[in-house]
């Protein structure tokens, strides 16, 4: 397995969800991140700002090594889809990432695996990196494997196999989102191993070795080190505990140190 670990670049992202919705705070936040993370090249970094502040984020980060993108895109490039956000707009502002299938979108907007599949395809066709969110609810906790397998295979059905290795899987157990603590290290490590096994079973060893699987759900500077200490965890997807740019930077440092020391 060592060879695969060497091949995968760690990744740390943050979604600001709908917490920071005005231009002033977002400019302040992204400016600080840019200064703090200057020169970091061993780990891929990305930010998903609140959708209404994407343009300001782009203006701040376009000349930095921090990537940015949208928390959602419509499943079509354009057309009669009132209220949706088009990948054409994302491309125009220079975004290179898109978050797809977050638990909150599945829950509040009834996003289905079929819609998620169309969004992933659209992203890959347009060279935008999809951060494909998967994760079991508390009710499925006793047998998450079959649930994860269904999310993965339905979400990726018909996707160009030459592009599958670009996907970043964000494993986010729904019951660990918005909590005081993340899932336990053992639980996370076991789930990541299962996800890699599922990818291998359906898409082959080569793709399983290459795809990055990051963990999200109450990640903090206190738990990030333990979370990424397993070879199947390639980084973290941060939420609330990264709202302080210094905390986000501490998480980035921890992940970079642990993943590049191997």
Does residue number 191 form part of the binding site for ligand PGA (CB under 6 A)?
A: no
Among 217, 221, 251, 258, binds ligand PGA (CB under 6 A): 217
Residue 112: CB atoms within 10 Å: 13
Residue 191 CB, shortest distance to ligand PGA, in Å, is: 15
| Whether 71 contacts 51, CB under 8 Å | yes
> Closer CB to ligand PGA, residue 129 or residue 207?
129
Q: Write out the binding residues for ligand PGA, residues 20-39 only, by CB under 6 A.
A: none
Taking CB atoms, the residue at the shortest distance from ligand PGA is 239
Residue 58 CB, shortest distance to ligand PGA, in Å, is: 21
> Closer CB to ligand PGA, residue 134 or residue 208?
134
| Whether 39 contacts 257, CB under 8 Å | no
| Whether 40 contacts 256, CB under 8 Å | yes
Does residue number 219 form part of the binding site for ligand PGA (CB under 6 A)?
A: yes
3-class SS at 134?
strand
Q: What's the N-to-C CA distance of the chain in angstroms?
A: 12
Q: How far is CA 163 from CA 26, 55, 129, 132, in A?
A: 32, 28, 10, 14
Among 44, 136, 149, 172, binds ligand PGA (CB under 6 A): 172
User: With CB under 6 A, what is the number of residues at the site for ligand PGA?
Assistant: 13
**Cα(122)–Cα(207) distance, integer angstroms:** 20
* 181 among known catalytic residues: no
For the stretch 233-261, what's the b/e string if a residue is b when 16 or more beta carbons lie within 10 angstroms of its beta carbon?
A: bbbbbbbbbbeebebbbbbbbbbbebbee
Residue 56 CB, shortest distance to ligand PGA, in Å, is: 21
Candidates 56, 111, 136, 172; catalytic one = 172
Candidates 102, 104, 149, 192; catalytic one = 102
* 202 among known catalytic residues: no
Q: Which residues are catalytic?
A: 102, 172
Q: Which residues bind ligand PGA (CB under 6 A)?
A: 15, 172, 177-178, 216-219, 237-241
């Amino acid at each position: 397995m060592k060879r695969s670990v060497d091949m995968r670049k760690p990744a740390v992202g943050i979604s600001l969800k709908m917490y920071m919705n005005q231009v002033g705070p977002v400019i302040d936040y992204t400016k600080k991140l840019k200064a703090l993370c200057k020169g970091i090249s061993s780990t891929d970094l990305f930010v998903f700002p609140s959708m209404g502040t994407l343009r300001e984020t782009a203006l701040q980060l376009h000349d930095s090594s921090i990537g940015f993108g949208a928390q959602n895109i419509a499943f079509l490039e354009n057309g009669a889809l009132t209220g949706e956000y088009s990948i054409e707009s994302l491309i125009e502002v220079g975004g290179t990432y898109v978050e797809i299938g977050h638990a909150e979108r599945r829950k509040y907007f009834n996003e289905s695996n079929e819609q998620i599949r169309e969004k992933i395809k659209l992203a890959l066709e347009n060279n935008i990196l999809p951060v494909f969110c998967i994760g079991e609810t508390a009710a499925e906790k006793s047998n998450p494997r079959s649930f994860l397998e269904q999310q993965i295979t339905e979400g990726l059905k018909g996707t160009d196999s030459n592009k599958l290795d670009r996907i970043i899987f964000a494993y986010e157990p729904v019951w660990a989102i918005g909590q005081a603590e993340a899932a336990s290290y053992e639980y996370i490590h076991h789930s990541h191993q299962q996800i890699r096994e599922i990818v291998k079973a359906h898409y082959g060893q080569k793709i399983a070795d290459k795809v990055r699987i990051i963990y999200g759900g109450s990640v903090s500077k206190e738990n990030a080190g333990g979370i990424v200490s397993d070879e199947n965890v390639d980084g973290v997807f941060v939420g609330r505990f990264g709202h302080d740019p210094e905390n986000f930077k501490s998480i980035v440092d921890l992940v970079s140190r642990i993943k590049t020391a191997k």
